[in-house]
Each structure stands twice: as structure tokens, then as C-alpha cells.
């Protein structure tokens, strides 16, 4: 467990907050795709922590940024934290997105609250000289986040359900054979229906990774509150713990139906 000091906390879109915090000691080694398990209150109510992805790490200033949607009681309590408050954080937790240094072009796909982890990933891929194209999807323009920040690392293609920003429809609208032919690998994070659609489109075309947004309890592999259907190492289908074995899995190992 680490204590962090909140240095900035602002609304960046409808119900979407950006929180930046500073490490009091050494900045731990964070990798893109990992998450923080944040205790949202000091009281006895809502003792459970809430998992939020790492969005951006700035080692020089020892700052770390998360971006989250106010969805229920836990994130509402988190949104009440002010500059100077201290946060009790477990992490970094979980498996990160592997970076393949031989790749030339990576396709990143984020939907809604699955967009934040794409920023640190895009930064690190671009830093290794890998060309990045990011497809982001939102309900509408009011929920759109991080487009400008992602644009610093490559082309960003936007889709919204209602057509109020970018192309109307789902992120898969952009996943044409032409674009897929250019990509060495894909990385996706978002709601299950989006990940399932991405998996279907990419199958047998491009290898990649899916980051699952399962509900969580302990966050460290003890309670089995986060299991998702997946292929096991022996080839059978079973359940794997998203908090510890994930949230990032090779795309072909995740089972959505059946």
C-alpha cells in the first residue's frame, strides 16, 4: 500500500474526472495496462477499493494520472477528494500490455472508460519508435476524453454512438482490411461487447491483447470475485482471475460466449 498526495483533480467531460497524484517516496515501476486499487474513503462505509487504470506516468515529477467516470457510490466518493488530500493506493497491480519492440505499427482501441490506459501505452510504444493509430469510441461527444493527448503519439480515429463526434457507430467501423493489413499488433480495452466484437474482427488477421473490465473485490487474487471465462494453459476452457492473471490477456485466450 502506498500513500499518494492529490495534486490536481478536475472534471474533463460529462461525469469524467482526471486526478493527478504525487508519490511521497520513490515512484514504483508502473507499466501500461496495470491498475491501481484505490481506497475511496477513510470511513467504514465502502471499505472496498475501486480499480482504476493507470493513464499516465511522469517519472520526472513523480506524478501519476488516472481518468475515471463517476459511475456509482465509490467513484462519487473518489470525486470528492481535493488537492492536498492523501489517497491509500494498492498497486501497481495486474499484468501489463506487452510491448513488442520489433513491431512497426500498433493499433490501439479504447471504448469509454477503456480509453485511459491507452495513453501511457501510446506514449511508450511511440517512445520505442512504433507507429501508433488509436481508435476511440464514446456514447457521445459529451463523454469524449483524451483525444488531444493521444494525438501527440499518432493518428486518432473517433467514433460515437450518436454521431455527435467523429464517425457514427462502433469502433469496429474503422477496422477495415486496409487498416488491419498495416497493423502488426492490436491492444484493446473497453466494455465486453466491444472487446468481443474486436476479437471477432481481428481473429486470424492480427495478434493482440484485450484488457477486461471485470468487477473486483480484493484485487490481489484472493477472493475469486473477478473471474472471467478463458482458455486455460492446458487448452480447456475455465475461469481466470482478471485482477492477477489479467486484466490484460492475449486476445485468443479470452472466451466471451458459450
Applying CB under 6 A, among 110, 154, 219, 247 the residue interacting with ligand FES is 219
* Distance in Å, CB of 234 to ligand FES, minimum: 21
Give the contacts of 181 (CB within 8 A, at least 6 positions apart): none
Q: Which partner in ligand FAD, ligand FES, none is near 218 (CB below 5 to 8 A by kind)? A: ligand FES
Residue 75 touching ligand FAD (CB under 6 A) = yes
Residue 232 touching ligand FES (CB under 6 A) = no
- Nearest CA-CA partner of 194 in 215, 166, 213, 167: 213
Bridge partners of 89, per DSSP, are 2, 38
Residue 193 touching ligand FAD (CB under 6 A) = no
What is the grid cell recorded at 154?
Answer: 499518432
What is the grid cell recorded at 227?
Answer: 473471474
* Distance in Å, CB of 31 to ligand FAD, minimum: 13
Applying CB under 6 A, among 66, 118, 241, 254 the residue interacting with ligand FES is 241
Residue 21 has φ and ψ, to the nearest 5°, of -135, 160
Residue 49 touching ligand FAD (CB under 6 A) = no
The interface region with ligand FAD, picked from 70-78, 80-88, 151-159, 227-235 by CB under 6 A, is: 70-78
User: Which residues sit at the interface with ligand FAD, rule CB under 6 A?
Assistant: 35, 50-53, 66-69, 71-75, 113, 116, 213-216, 247
Amino acid at each position: 500500500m502506498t500513500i499518494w498526495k492529490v495534486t490536481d483533480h478536475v472534471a474533463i467531460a460529462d461525469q469524467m474526472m482526471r486526478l493527478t497524484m504525487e508519490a511521497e517516496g520513490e515512484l514504483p515501476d508502473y507499466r501500461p495496462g496495470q491498475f491501481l486499487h484505490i481506497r475511496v474513503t477513510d470511513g467504514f462505509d465502502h471499505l472496498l477499493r475501486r480499480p482504476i487504470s493507470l493513464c499516465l506516468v511522469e517519472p520526472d515529477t513523480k506524478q501519476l494520472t488516472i481518468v475515471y467516470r463517476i459511475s456509482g457510490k465509490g467513484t462519487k466518493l473518489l470525486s470528492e477528494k481535493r488537492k492536498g488530500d492523501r489517497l491509500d493506493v494498492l498497486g501497481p497491480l495486474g499484468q501489463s500490455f506487452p510491448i513488442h519492440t520489433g513491431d512497426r505499427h500498433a493499433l490501439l482501441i479504447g471504448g469509454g472508460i477503456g480509453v485511459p490506459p491507452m495513453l501511457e501505452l501510446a506514449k511508450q510504444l511511440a517512445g520505442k519508435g512504433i507507429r501508433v493509430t488509436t481508435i476511440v469510441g464514446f456514447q457521445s461527444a459529451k463523454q469524449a476524453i483524451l483525444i488531444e493527448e493521444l494525438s501527440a503519439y499518432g493518428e486518432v480515429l473517433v467514433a460515437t454512438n450518436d454521431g455527435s463526434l467523429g464517425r457514427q457507430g462502433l469502433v469496429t467501423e474503422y477496422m477495415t482490411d486496409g487498416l488491419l493489413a498495416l497493423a502488426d499488433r492490436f491492444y484493446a480495452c473497453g466494455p465486453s461487447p466491444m472487446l468481443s466484437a474486436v476479437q471477432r474482427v481481428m481473429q486470424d488477421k492480427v495478434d493482440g491483447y484485450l484488457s477486461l473490465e471485470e468487477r473486483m473485490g480484493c484485487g490481489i487474487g484472493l477472493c475469486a470475485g473477478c473471474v472471467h471465462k478463458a482458455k486455460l494453459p492446458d487448452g480447456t476452457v475455465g475461469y481466470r482471475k482478471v485482477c492477477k492473471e489479467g486484466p490484460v490477456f492475449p486476445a485468443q485466450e479470452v472466451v466471451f460466449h458459450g
